[in-house]
Chain A
Amino acid sequence: KNQVEQSPQSLIILEGKNCTLQCNYTVSPFSNLRWYKQDTGRGPVSLTIMTFSENTKSNGRYTATLDADTKQSSLHITASQLSDSASYICVVSQMDSNYQLIWGAGTKLIIKP
């Protein structure tokens, strides 16, 4: 069964610290992997999209990695800010499937001052 699992479910860190969120998937055949940021009460916003051949992709203080062999991805946030408090969602797209995105349940990140 196609699944995307994220860990941890929730995380609390102090402002200025770094953190890493994990994503494991069993989606096949793989097309791309996306990370979204979702603020409370808002729609998801795309952070990165990585294809099979991309190992690392950065967007400001966000760096995503992809290991297509082990089917794992991580999102590293550097020097966290209060505005980073949000849910971070990992999404995997299936190849040859018109619009099939498999969504993880997300990691809820809270940054404390």
Chain B
Amino acid sequence: NAGVTQTPKFQVLKTGQSMTLQCAQDMNHEYMSWYRQDPGMGLRLIHYSVGAGITDQGEVPNGYNVSRSTTEDFPLRLLSAAPSQTSVYFCASSLAGGNYEQYFGPGTRLTVT
């Protein structure tokens, strides 16, 4: 199993550009989520999904969109990049909520100039 994969690993955008961060998992997990990690802060939840066709907002959803058309894929779209979105983005998946372990991808380092 590849686990959770993310592409690209690094990305530089100009303010106002849009892009999609890709996330895929091959563990047949129902739950998937996107986090951002900023220096000195805990991970913050952007959006999450409890199954194909179901998504919901997390703590910091503004400026981001998600969709979940398949169990395997959970892309994150930046609509109009802003410097405040410079961060490291992690995708995670788990079999379900509750006490199930979360598995994280390697992250995407995004810089918005």
* Given A43-B107, A98-B50, A98-B97, A103:B42 Cβ within 8 A: yes
Indicate if B105 sits at the interface (CB-CB under 8 A). Answer: yes
Tell me whether A43 and B106 are in contact (CB under 8 A). Answer: yes
Within 8 Å of chain B (Cβ to Cβ): is A31?
yes
Q: How far is the CB of B31 from chain A (nearest CB, A)?
A: 7
A-chain residues with CB within 8 Å of residue B103 when the two chains form the complex: 46
Known: A98-B50, A99-B31, A104-B42. A45 touches B99 (CB 8 A): no
- Chain B interface (Cβ within 8 Å of chain A)? 4, 31, 33, 40-45, 48, 50, 56, 58, 90, 92, 97-99, 101-107
The docked-state distance in angstroms from the alpha carbon of A51 to that of B58 is: 23
What are 7 A-B pairs at a CB distance below 8 A?
A: A31-B98, A32-B99, A43-B105, A99-B31, A99-B97, A101-B43, A103-B44
Interface residues on A, range: 20 to 34
Q: Are A99 and B45 in contact (CB under 8 A)?
A: yes
Q: How far is the CB of B100 from chain A (nearest CB, A)?
A: 8
For A91, list chain B residues within 8 Å (CB): 42
Say yes or no: A89-B97 contact (C-beta < 8 A), given A42-B107, A99-B50.
no
Please indicate the chain A residues that have their CB under 8 angstroms from the CB of B48 in the complex: 98-99
* CB <8 Å contact, A89 and B50: no
B43 touches A103 (CB 8 A): yes
Interface centre among A32, A91, A93, A99 (most CB of B within 10 A): A99
Is A43 a contact partner of B101 (Cβ separation < 8 A)?
no
With A31-B98, A98-B56, A98-B97: A45-B104 Cβ-Cβ less than 8 Å = yes
Across the interface, which residues of A come within 8 angstroms of B40, CB to CB?
A: 105
